[in-house]
Chains A and B, each alone.
Chain A
Amino acid sequence: MNTDKMLITQRPWYRRYAFKQYSAILIVLIGLIVIGTVLSYQSFFTLTNFTNIIRQASIIGIVVIGATFILISGGIDLSVGSNLILSSCSAALVLTQTGNPLLAILLALAVGTAVGLLNGFLVMRFKIASFIVTLGIGQISLGLAMFITGNKIISISDKVFSGIGSSYIFGFLPMPAFICILVVIAGILIEKKSTLGRYIYAIGGNEEASKLSGIDVNKFKVIVFSMGGLFIGLAAVVQLGRMSAASNQIGTGAELEAISAAVIGGTAITGGYGSVIGSIVGVVILQILNNILNMMNVPSYSQLLLKGIILIGAIIIYQKQQSKY
Chain B
Amino acid sequence: MKKTILTIILAIALCAMLVACQAAPAESSAPASEAPAATSEAPASTEAPASSEAAMPDPPVSIANGEYTIGFSNASVSNPWRVVFTDTLNYVAENNPNVTLYTTDANEDAQKQLADCEDLISKDIDALVVSPAVTGALAPVIDMCKEKGIPLVVVDRDIGAEGYDAFVRTDGHILGEAIADSVNNYFNGTAKVVYISGIAGSGPDNERNEGFYDQLKKYPGIEVLATQAADWDPTKSLTVMENLLQGYPEMQGVVCTDGTTAVGAWQAIQAANRTDIVLFNMDNTRNDSLQMTLDGIIVDTSVENAIYCGAWAMNVAIDLLNGKTLKSPEVMIPTPFITKDNAAQFMDPSLAATDYPWKGLYKDSMETAYPEIWN
Pair from one complex:
yes
Contacts of B7 in A (CB 8 A): 317
State how many angstroms separate the Cβ of A205 from the closest Cβ of chain B.
Answer: 22
Over the window 266-300 of chain A, the binary record of Cβ atoms lying under 8 Å from chain B Cβ atoms (1 yes, 0 no) is 00000000000000000000010011011111111
B352 within 8 Å of A by Cβ?
no
B13 within 8 Å of A by Cβ?
yes
Contacts of B120 in A (CB 8 A): 294
A99 within 8 Å of B by Cβ?
no
State how many angstroms separate the Cβ of A102 from the closest Cβ of chain B.
Answer: 22
B31 and A28 contacting across the interface, CB-CB below 8 Å:
no
- Rounded to whole angstroms, the CA-CA distance of A23 and B2 in the bound complex is 10
State how many angstroms separate the Cβ of A83 from the closest Cβ of chain B.
Answer: 15
**Pick the contact of B123 from A35, A165, A250, A295 — CB < 8 Å?**
A295
Over the window 37-75 of chain A, the binary record of Cβ atoms lying under 8 Å from chain B Cβ atoms (1 yes, 0 no) is 001000100101100100110010000000000000000
B104 and A243 contacting across the interface, CB-CB below 8 Å:
no
B5 and A300 contacting across the interface, CB-CB below 8 Å:
no
B116 within 8 Å of A by Cβ?
yes
Given A293-B19, A296-B19, A242:B114 Cβ within 8 A:
yes
A27 and B115 contacting across the interface, CB-CB below 8 Å:
no
B119 within 8 Å of A by Cβ?
yes
Sample of 11 more A-B contacts, CB < 8 Å, known A46-B122, A313-B11, A321-B4:
A31-B9, A52-B115, A155-B160, A166-B140, A247-B137, A296-B20, A296-B27, A297-B103, A299-B26, A300-B77, A300-B106
Q: Which 4 pairs from chain A and chain B are nearest by CB?
A: A300-B105, A153-B136, A296-B23, A56-B115
B239 within 8 Å of A by Cβ?
no
Contacts of B124 in A (CB 8 A): 43
Residues of chain B from 102 to 150 with CB closer than 8 A to chain A in the complex: 102-112, 114-116, 118-120, 122-124, 133-137, 139-140
**Pick the contact of A155 from B1, B105, B136 — CB < 8 Å?**
B136
Contacts of B200 in A (CB 8 A): 151
| Identity of the chain A residue whose Cβ is nearest the Cβ of B7 in the assembled complex | A317
Contacts of B102 in A (CB 8 A): 297
A298 and B8 contacting across the interface, CB-CB below 8 Å:
no
B31 and A294 contacting across the interface, CB-CB below 8 Å:
no
Over the window 181-215 of chain B, the binary record of Cβ atoms lying under 8 Å from chain A Cβ atoms (1 yes, 0 no) is 00000000000000000001100000000000000
- Rounded to whole angstroms, the CA-CA distance of A301 and B77 in the bound complex is 9
Of the candidate stretches A127-135, A182-190, A303-311, the one touching chain B is A303-311
A310 and B15 contacting across the interface, CB-CB below 8 Å:
yes
A245 within 8 Å of B by Cβ?
yes
A244 and B4 contacting across the interface, CB-CB below 8 Å:
no
State how many angstroms separate the Cβ of A292 from the closest Cβ of chain B.
Answer: 8
Residue positions of B touching A, CB distance < 8 A: 1, 4-5, 7-9, 11-13, 15-16, 19-20, 22-23, 26-27, 30-31, 34, 76-77, 102-112, 114-116, 118-120, 122-124, 133-137, 139-140, 160-161, 200-201
A253 and B114 contacting across the interface, CB-CB below 8 Å:
no
B122 and A302 contacting across the interface, CB-CB below 8 Å:
no
**Pick the contact of B5 from A23, A59, A253 — CB < 8 Å?**
A23
A239 and B26 contacting across the interface, CB-CB below 8 Å:
no
- Rounded to whole angstroms, the CA-CA distance of A20 and B5 in the bound complex is 12
A179 within 8 Å of B by Cβ?
no
**Pick the contact of B109 from A23, A166, A244, A252 — CB < 8 Å?**
A252
B111 and A250 contacting across the interface, CB-CB below 8 Å:
yes
Contacts of B26 in A (CB 8 A): 296-299
29 contacts between A and B (CB under 8 A): A27-B5, A28-B12, A31-B12, A35-B16, A43-B122, A49-B122, A55-B118, A56-B111, A56-B118, A153-B136, A153-B160, A155-B160, A242-B111, A245-B137, A249-B201, A250-B110, A250-B137, A290-B115, A294-B116, A297-B26, A297-B27, A298-B23, A299-B26, A300-B106, A309-B15, A310-B12, A313-B11, A317-B8, A321-B1
Main secondary structure of the interface of A (DSSP, over half): helix
Given A243-B137, A299-B77, A300-B106, A48:B111 Cβ within 8 A:
no
B107 and A52 contacting across the interface, CB-CB below 8 Å:
no
A24 and B4 contacting across the interface, CB-CB below 8 Å:
yes
**Pick the contact of A24 from B8, B119, B135, B160 — CB < 8 Å?**
B8
Contacts of B139 in A (CB 8 A): 155, 244-245
State how many angstroms separate the Cβ of A9 from the closest Cβ of chain B.
Answer: 22
A300 and B107 contacting across the interface, CB-CB below 8 Å:
yes
**Pick the contact of B118 from A24, A52, A154, A298 — CB < 8 Å?**
A52
A159 within 8 Å of B by Cβ?
no
- Rounded to whole angstroms, the CA-CA distance of A109 and B289 in the bound complex is 50
State how many angstroms separate the Cβ of A27 from the closest Cβ of chain B.
Answer: 5
Contacts of A152 in B (CB 8 A): 201
| Identity of the chain B residue whose Cβ is nearest the Cβ of A298 in the assembled complex | B23
Q: Which of B109, B133, B136 has the most CB of A within 10 A?
A: B136
State how many angstroms separate the Cβ of A158 from the closest Cβ of chain B.
Answer: 12
- Rounded to whole angstroms, the CA-CA distance of A287 and B115 in the bound complex is 10
B4 and A317 contacting across the interface, CB-CB below 8 Å:
yes
A251 within 8 Å of B by Cβ?
yes
A32 within 8 Å of B by Cβ?
yes
Contacts of B136 in A (CB 8 A): 153-155, 245, 247
